[in-house]
Amino acid sequence: MIGPSSSHTAGAVKVGYLARSIFKDKLNKADIHLHGSFARTFKGHGTDRALVGGLLGFKPDDERIKNSLQIAKERNVEIDFHLSDLRGVHPNTAKLDLVGENKEMSIIGSSIGGSRIKIIQIDDYEVDFSGEMPTLWVLHKDEPGEIGIITSILGNYKLNIARMVVFRNKKGEVGSAIIELDHAVNDYVISNLENMDDIYQVRYVEPF
């Protein structure tokens, strides 16, 4: 890995990298809100460069991380850092407000030790995944049978679910499903899910 700290550097790279994978649009701007120890030590431990490196698509062992702030400038990606109190989250947490060509998205991720991370929120939706396994994030109508439809589609493609967590902000509105799988997901699976009437959005995140 690049950097002095598995939590403040390697973990931060992974948070940025997963955020980029979820966002998927061409990145034009990132407002990065640093919380807790991320806010206190971000320059000394290279957390700023690590998060930006991840957003640029660099993995934790990429030498370009050291120069990620300059590379972002060269790619016309505007980066602004803010010291914030996100409340109720792990001390090593960042909120990434991303602006692209066609959309905006806010992602919160925490580095929880030993270079392990968790993505805990996407926009207004609670989530919980590490990026260590092939992962689907599915926004769906919150009504009986929807989860069964999703799992049936995955079963038809012989995809085994290792872990599944479902969240909702309010009963009967939108559900947020995190599905971690034993195998990679191809475009046919994603297209099949996206074509279902009561599924609003599908994002697939490949493991590191």
* pLDDT tens, position by position, 63-77: 999 999 999 999 999
pTM (two decimals): 0.90
- Please answer whether residues 26 and 95 qualify as being in contact, where contact means their C-beta atoms are separated by less than 8 angstroms: no
Amino acid at 7: S
Q: Is the dihedral of CA 99, 103, 106, 111 positive or negative?
A: negative
CATH of domain 6-123: 3.30.1330.90
Give the domain ranges of the chain. 6-123, 135-205
Neighbours of 3 (CB within 10 A): 20
Q: What is the pLDDT of residue 1?
A: 46
Condensed to tens digits (0 to 9), the pLDDT of residues 75-108 reads 999 999 999 999 989 999 999 999 999 999 999 9
Residue 4, pLDDT > 50, answer no
CATH of domain 135-205: 3.30.70.260
Phi/psi at 9 (nearest 5 deg)? -115, -65
